[in-house]
Amino acid sequence: MSLTSLDQTWRDISCERNNVRRRFKSLEEGKVRRTRHAPLRFGHAALVITVTFLAGGLTLGEALNQTGLAAYYVQKLDLTRVSPFTVTLIFGYLCVVMSNFMSNTGTAALLIPVGIRLLPGHALEIAVTTALCASFAVLLPVSTPPNAIVFSTGYLKQPDFRRTGVVVGLLGPLLTLLYLHLM
């Protein structure tokens, strides 16, 4: 991905953000009909935030590969005495933690290239584990757009997410990796 295409992507995202601002203004003036469930403006905001994080995460992951930064970090790590199972499990938990605070796709796009370079003989195992572990981020309402949408209804509170998020975050990577090893 060239620098020019990254600039164009950023311009497209900025243009969409400006469009959403105009829609918000229309909402405030009462020109746009609201739905009974979630406010229309929340849907637009969630879409823009999701697209921004998705594009940013994918771009950052691609930049790690293109610039050689992923290879550089892998070179600095000495994991000759650590089993591939342990490394994959660490990547799974790291992915869960990162996905709670940023885009799931972006987290997977960042970690999978590093993991594949770290364990080339176990590329499929680390890629599948990392990708699935990105979906276990349910600790915060902002972890994924579906969490944010459910939280906006008012039926669930922050403690509901924390209880479930801790259990899913702790068990998910371990069960995923065990399942992959049993297959």
CB 74 within 8 A of CB 117: yes
Q: Which amino acid is at 38?
A: A
CA dist 78 → 50, 67, 85 (Å): 35, 21, 15
pLDDT at residue number 94: 92
Distance in angstroms (rounded) separating the CA atoms of residues 66 and 134? 23
Amino acid 108: pLDDT: 85
pTM: 0.64
Count the domains in the chain: 1
Task: Check residue 38 and give its pLDDT.
Answer: 46
What pLDDT is attached to residue 92?
93
Structure tokens at 76: 């600095």
Query: CA 10 to CA 13: how far, in whole Å?
Result: 5
**Structural domain boundaries, residue 139:** 3-182
Residue pLDDT tens, the chain, 183 long: 555 665 666 666 666 666 666 665 665 565 555 445 444 444 555 555 555 555 666 677 677 777 877 778 777 777 778 888 999 999 999 999 988 887 787 788 888 888 888 888 888 899 899 989 988 988 887 777 788 778 878 788 888 888 888 999 999 999 999 998 887
